[in-house]
Amino acid sequence: MADAFTIVPGAYAGGLRYLDVIGDAATGRVFLHGAHVTSWRPDGEDESLVWLSERAIFADETAIRGGVPICFPWFGPNRPTPEGPAHGLARLSEWRFEGAAETDAGVAVTLGLDQDAPAAVPGWGAAFRVDEQDEGEVRFQARYTVTFGSSLTTSLSVTNTGSRAIGFEAAIHTYYPVSDVRQVSVSGLEGYPFVERGAGGGAGEPIRFTREVDRVYPAAPSALRLTDPGAGRRFTLESSGAAGWVVWNPFRDKAAAMGDFGDEEWRSMVCLEPVSLGEAMIWLQPGQSHGLGVVSTPQTLPDR
Ligand code: TA6
């Protein structure tokens, strides 16, 4: 049977190549730069169900603002070397297209990355945590499979192909579109400890957004719900291989301070990110692998 999907390779935006996926259940777009999903539109939806800034910059040395950035091999400012960029090197590296296939869950696109990948910023040689007592070579093979269907499934798998143990952090940093962030709630994290890195704008539990929220839940359950009455929609999220979550909205002031983020765009997005970081970072012995990902499923809210 002929494949029920089309991959349109080699299209360009700002000099970066991307693939357009046209399947029966959904369409999508993923850039080779960062293996960065920028669009996912399930059949029947009028718009993409991943948010993308109108000011996103498409350039080698910049992470695309919005969509689904991959944070690897560290999260945020937890860089092992002073010159390392926020959220690691993977979202600034050129991934290899390794193939696509029709599955029951939609069109699965796989991209690969290793320490020899061209990265806008160098540094794979010092990108991982290692035991200084160890000797041997640091090498890895990452594979990222994103499945465009009625749900969006993202899965990052990392294998230690070197000869010494490596430690790393990882997150799938998805931007979800919402009608108005001040009207939505995030449930599933009630009662779990968190570190607030922002202005502490999360009111109560379920989380509501009244100011900047930048919360790290180092250890929390795998299921979240993002409820958006204004859009009549709920996203259910189910993570795998992650220790916790990050919840982020920049709100007005931080959005205004970001050049690739529209001043009013803070109202229309929420980031919910399965993450393993800090004491829960992932350590792999030579030959070991670990997978981390999330399935995001939109549901229509019943009429009240
Ligand atoms: O995931 C939340 C966060 O770590 C925030 O602190 C904010 O920096 C956000 O990521 C975006 O980071 P970026 O490097 O993409 O601007």
| pLDDT digits 0-9 by tens, 92-105 | 999 999 999 999 99
pLDDT-wise least confident of 12-16, 114-118, 121-125, 208-212: 121-125
Contact indicator for 19, 34 with CB cutoff of 8 Å: no
pLDDT in tens, 267-302: 999 999 999 999 999 999 999 999 999 999 999 998
Annotated catalytic, 83? Answer: no
Task: Among 38, 87, 197, 246, say which to mutate for ligand 1: greatest number of ligand atoms within 8 Å of CB.
Answer: 87
Distance 247 CA to ligand 1 centre (A): 10
Mean pLDDT of 229-240: 98
Mean pLDDT of 59-86: 95
For 180, left (φ over 0), alpha (ψ -120 to 50), or beta?
Answer: beta
Protein residue with its CA nearest to atom 4 in ligand 1 = 76
Query: d(Cα 247, Cα 234) in Å, to the nearest integer?
Result: 16
pLDDT category, 1, cuts 50, 70, 90?
A: very low
pLDDT in tens, 128-180: 999 999 999 999 999 999 999 999 999 999 999 999 999 999 999 999 999 99
Tell me what percent of the residues of the chain surpass a pLDDT of 90.
87
Annotated catalytic, 173? Answer: yes
Query: d(Cα 204, Cα 189) in Å, to the nearest integer?
Result: 11
User: Active site residue: 173, 190, 279, 290, which one?
Assistant: 173
Mean pLDDT of 34-52: 98
Closest CA to 69 of 170, 188, 194, 212: 170
Protein residue with its CA nearest to atom 14 in ligand 1 = 86
